[in-house]
Amino acid sequence: MQIGSPAFKQNAHDALGDVQLQKALGNVRRGFIDKRKKATDRLPEFDALRDEAKRIKDHTLSHLDFYLEAYERKVTASGGRVHWAETAEDARNIVLDICQAARARSVTKGKSMITEEIALNDFLAENGIRPVETDLGEYIIQLRGEHPSHIIAPAVHLNKEQVEMDFRRVHDHLPVARDLSEPEALLNEARMVLRKEYVTADVGITGANFLVAETGSSIIVTNEGNGDLTQALPKVHVVVASIEKVVPTLEDASQILRVLARSATGQETSVYTTVSTGPRRKGDPDGPEEYHVILLDNGRSSMLGTEFQDMLRCIRCGACMNHCPVYHAVGGHAYGWVYPGPMGAVLTPSLIGVDKAGHLPNASTFCGRCEEVCPMRIPLPRMMRNWREREFERRLNPAAQRFGLRFWAFFARRPRLYKLGAGLVIPFLAALGGRKRRLGWLPLAGGWTRHREMPAPESRTFMQQWRDRETLKQDAGR
C-alpha cells in the first residue's frame, strides 16, 4: 500500500470537512466504547487476565528465537511447511510461488492486516491471480479500491447508502428493482456472491491471531465464518503471520483470547475460534491438502531490545483507536498507512521509518485513554513521546514548529523574562477577546482558529492571580 502518512495534516483537514465520514465515525464512538465497558465489567478477573496476558507476551518475546524454532518443528511434524520472509517483498514472492505451484486463478482471503501490510492483493492481481476478500467489510472496501480504515471494522468509514451504490455498480446481475436499502439485504447479496468464490478458489489465505509453539497451530477468530470457509474449502491454505504472533502453549492463547474479544467488540468471545494444525489427515473428508505458514519479520526484529519492544505485545484488538479522540475526529484513512489510531502512530514509524511516518506520533492529545484500555498494557503515549523526541533530534519536524519550541524554551529557562512577557501579552489577549471573552483569530495560529474559537485568557496571568490569592489567604488568617 502506498504510504500517505506524511500528508497526515492535509488528510486530517480533509477528513474533518467530510460530512459522510463524520456521520460514519459516530458509529465508532457509539458502538464500541459501551460494549467494551459492559463486557469487561462482567468479568471480575479482567484486569488480572490483562496482567497475565502481558506477562505471557513479555516472556515469549524474550525467548522468541526458541519459540519460533519450536513452532517450526511442530508445523513440519504435522505435515505443514514454514517459510521465513524478511521483508514484505519476500513474503509476496513466497505467496506467489505457492499460488503458481497450485495453478491458482483465484484466491479467497480471510481478513488479515498482515496481507494489507505487504500489499498482497495488488501484487497477486498484477500476476494474473484474482484475490477475493471474504470478510464483509473487506469485501466492500475491495470493491471500492480502498484500504481498511480500522483494524477490526475495515468499512467503518462508510454508510449503507455508499455500500448499496458499490454493489449496484459491481454486481451486474442485480435487478434494479431489488431493494438493497437495508443492511440485511446487502449482507445477503454479499453472502450469495461470495459462496461461489469459496468453492472455486484454489488457495485460501488467512492471517493468524496466534501461533502456538506447543502444537504448531495457527488460531484465528472471526464472527462471520468467512475465515473458516476460506481455509476449509480450497486445496491449499496459506497463513501469513508476523513473528511476534507466537505464544508458547494452548493455555497461553486461551488467556489472551479472553481479553481479545472483550477489548475488541465487547463480546465474551468471538463466534468462531479456530485452531488449525497442518493439512487434512488420512481419513478426513474435508480440509486443505497443503498447509503453509509464512513468518514475516518486516522490521519487527529491529524493535526487539529497544524502547519500542512493548509494541510487539499488540494483539490488534482496536480498543486504542476506539477510544481515541483523534481517531474519532479524523478516521483511519488520514493516518495514511495500514495501521491507524494510537497503535498505528507507534507501529508505523517503527515499520516504515519515522521519516516516512510524518506527523503520526503527533496525532495524539496525550489523554492517555489508549493506554488505559489496551488489554496488553502497552504504554502507547510514552512511545509516541519517544518518537517525537527522535523526530526532533533528527530535525524532521517543520521549521516553524522547531522555531516555536526554541522560542518558548528560551523564555521558559528565564523566569523573569517569561513573567514580564506573559504580563504584557495576557492583558492584550484578554482585551482582544472583548465581552464574548473568545478569540476568533490569533496571530500565528490562524490554522487553529479557523475551525474554532479560542477562549480568551483572564486579564491577569496565573502567577499574578496565585500571588493575590496567597496574599488574601494570609490576610484572612491574620
For residues 59 to 98, the per-residue mask of contacts with other proteins, x marking binding by CB under 8 A and - elsewhere, is: x--xxxxxxxxx---x---x----xxxx---x--------
Task: Please select the residue that binds ligand SF4; options are 343, 345, 351, 352, rule is CB under 6 A.
Answer: 343
Q: Does 457 bind other proteins (CB under 8 A)?
A: no
If you search the block for the grid coordinates 488420512, which residue do you land on?
Answer: 282
Distance of CA 147 to the CA centre of its chain: 12
How far are the Cα atoms of 112, 228, 415 from residue 152, in angstroms, in the given order?
Answer: 9, 17, 49
Specify the residue, 14 or 297, whose C-beta has the smaller distance to other proteins: 297
Cell matching residue 313 = 505485545
202 burial class (0-12, 13-18, 19+ CB within 10 angstroms)?
Answer: middle
AA identity, residue 413: R
Q: Which does 375 bind (CB under 5 to 8 A by kind): other proteins, ligand SF4, none?
A: ligand SF4
Q: Which does 266 bind (CB under 5 to 8 A by kind): ligand SF4, other proteins, none?
A: none
Q: Which does 130 bind (CB under 5 to 8 A by kind): ligand SF4, other proteins, none?
A: none
Window of 12-20, 135-143, 359-367, 372-380 that interacts with other proteins by CB under 8 A:
135-143
Specify the residue, 263 or 461, whose C-beta has the smaller distance to ligand SF4: 263
Tell me the closest approach of the beta carbon of residue 317 to other proteins, in angstroms: 15
Task: Please select the residue that binds other proteins; options are 213, 334, 354, 380, rule is CB under 8 A.
Answer: 213
Tell me the closest approach of the beta carbon of residue 378 to other proteins, in angstroms: 18
Pairing relation of β-strands 217-222 and 210-212? antiparallel
If you search the block for the grid coordinates 483537514, which residue do you land on?
Answer: 13
Tell me the closest approach of the beta carbon of residue 153 to other proteins, in angstroms: 6
Q: Which does 293 bind (CB under 5 to 8 A by kind): other proteins, ligand SF4, none?
A: none
Q: Does 11 bind other proteins (CB under 8 A)?
A: no
Q: What part of residues 277-316 is at the interface with ligand SF4 (CB under 6 A)?
A: 314-316
DSSP string of 22-36? HHHHHHHHHHHHHHH
Tell me the closest approach of the beta carbon of residue 222 to other proteins, in angstroms: 9
**Please, which residues bridge with residue 242 across strands?**
296
If you search the block for the grid coordinates 513452532, which residue do you land on?
Answer: 71
Q: Which does 68 bind (CB under 5 to 8 A by kind): ligand SF4, other proteins, none?
A: other proteins
Q: Which does 318 bind (CB under 5 to 8 A by kind): ligand SF4, other proteins, none?
A: ligand SF4
Q: Does 378 bind ligand SF4 (CB under 6 A)?
A: yes
Specify the residue, 302 or 471, whose C-beta has the smaller distance to other proteins: 302
Q: What part of residues 283-302 is at the interface with other proteins (CB under 8 A)?
A: 283-287, 295, 297, 301-302
Task: Please select the residue that binds other proteins; options are 11, 112, 115, 134, rule is CB under 8 A.
Answer: 134
Element (H, E) at 57: helix 46-62
133 burial class (0-12, 13-18, 19+ CB within 10 angstroms)?
Answer: buried
Q: Does 217 bind other proteins (CB under 8 A)?
A: yes
Q: Which does 320 bind (CB under 5 to 8 A by kind): other proteins, ligand SF4, none?
A: ligand SF4
Tell me the closest approach of the beta carbon of residue 390 to ligand SF4, in angstroms: 19
Q: What part of residues 225-284 is at the interface with ligand SF4 (CB under 6 A)?
A: 263
Tell me the closest approach of the beta carbon of residue 287 to ligand SF4, in angstroms: 31
Candidates 34, 19, 30, 3; CA nearest to 262 is 34
451 burial class (0-12, 13-18, 19+ CB within 10 angstroms)?
Answer: exposed
Contact of 130 with 105, CB cutoff 8 Å: yes
For residues 257 to 276, the per-residue mask of contacts with other proteins, x marking binding by CB under 8 A and - elsewhere, is: xx------x-xxxxxxxxxx
CA dist 63 and 82 (Å) reads 19
Contacts of 157 (CB under 8 A, 6+ apart): 21, 24, 25, 149, 150, 331, 332, 333
Contacts of 380 (CB under 8 A, 6+ apart): 320, 342, 343, 345, 346, 370, 371, 374
Specify the residue, 194 or 378, whose C-beta has the smaller distance to ligand SF4: 378
CA dist 110 and 275 (Å) reads 15
Tell me the closest approach of the beta carbon of residue 446 to other proteins, in angstroms: 36
Q: Does 249 bind other proteins (CB under 8 A)?
A: yes
Candidates 46, 44, 112, 58; CA nearest to 260 is 46
Q: Does 240 bind other proteins (CB under 8 A)?
A: no
Cell matching residue 28 = 465508532
Tell me the closest approach of the beta carbon of residue 379 to ligand SF4, in angstroms: 10
Cell matching residue 307 = 524502547
Element (H, E) at 132: strand 130-133
Tell me the closest approach of the beta carbon of residue 215 to other proteins, in angstroms: 5
Window of 7-15, 278-286, 399-407, 460-468 that interacts with other proteins by CB under 8 A:
278-286
Q: What part of residues 110-129 is at the interface with ligand SF4 (CB under 6 A)?
A: none
How far are the Cα atoms of 2, 245, 409, 412 from residue 207, in angstroms, in the given order?
Answer: 21, 10, 48, 50
Task: Please select the residue that binds ligand SF4; options are 154, 207, 288, 318, rule is CB under 6 A.
Answer: 318
List of residues contacting ligand SF4 (CB under 6 A): 263, 314-320, 343, 374-376, 378, 380
